[in-house]
A = this chain, B = another copy of it.
């Protein structure tokens, strides 16, 4: 099962590397790191990651898209959004962390679906898809093949939830214990929701 991680400049560091730590401890998963054109992309905290071009990815994999300040310009990049739509339509599962769900929304992939995002950026995210059934209070949301998480650290809880759905509760718990992580396993338990 190929995990296709799609990076771009100014992605949020932990959005990706939290789930990478979890998926990397599941032997059934093979992780690869992509960007639209390949080469070095930098996280918002300046982490330079060497990526492969997305054209070399196996399309039928599991797509993982981070958030971060880089999403603010990408929603207006038609070529990127078109590429993302194509990847997501072929993918078995589509995961996003934080404001990554704004990219799926802008691509029209979440039409009529339930989804969530970063709580402090939620106002902006909602403008990217008014046809989405946004969930204000959730650690993560699953709707069909789409898994969307709240901000940053919530991606780890979603990743463990995805492992649970694929391989069962024991496997997810074993990974959490291995990395000494206090898993918040209830997707509805969201202490960071903002009253609206």
Within 8 A of B (CB), among A18-75: 18, 20-21, 23-24, 31-33, 40, 43-50
Q: Answer whether residue A128 sits at the interface, using C-beta atoms and an 8 A cutoff.
A: no
Contacts of A12 in B (CB 8 A): 21
Complex interface bits, A85-126 against B, C-beta within 8 A gives 1, otherwise 0: 000000000000000000000000000000000111000000
Copy total for this chain: 2
The reply to whether B180 and A118 contact each other, CB–CB distance below 8 Å, is yes
Within 8 Å by CB of A179, from B43, B46, B151, lies B151
Query: Chain B contacts of A192 at CB under 8 A?
Result: 177, 180
- Residues in B whose Cβ lies below 8 Å from that of A47: 17, 20, 33, 49
Q: How many chain-A residues does the 8 Å CB contact rule pick out?
A: 38
A195 within 8 A of B: no
Q: Cβ of A14 < 8 Å from any Cβ of B?
A: yes
A185 at the interface (CB under 8 A from B): no
Residue A144 CB within 8 A of the other chain = no
CB-defined contacts of A152 to chain B, threshold 8 Å: 21, 178-181
State how many angstroms separate the Cβ of A175 from the closest Cβ of chain B. Answer: 11
Question: Which residues of B sit under 8 angstroms from A48, Cβ to Cβ?
Answer: 33, 49-50
CB distance from A145 to the nearest CB of B (A): 24
B178 touches A120 (CB 8 A): yes
Judge whether A17 and B13 touch: CB under 8 Å: yes
CB-CB nearest 4 A-B residue pairs: A24-B45, A17-B17, A14-B21, A151-B180
Extra contacts, 12 of them, besides A21-B45, A31-B46, A33-B46 (Cβ < 8 A), are: A12-B21, A13-B20, A20-B45, A20-B47, A23-B45, A32-B46, A49-B50, A152-B178, A152-B181, A153-B180, A182-B184, A182-B191
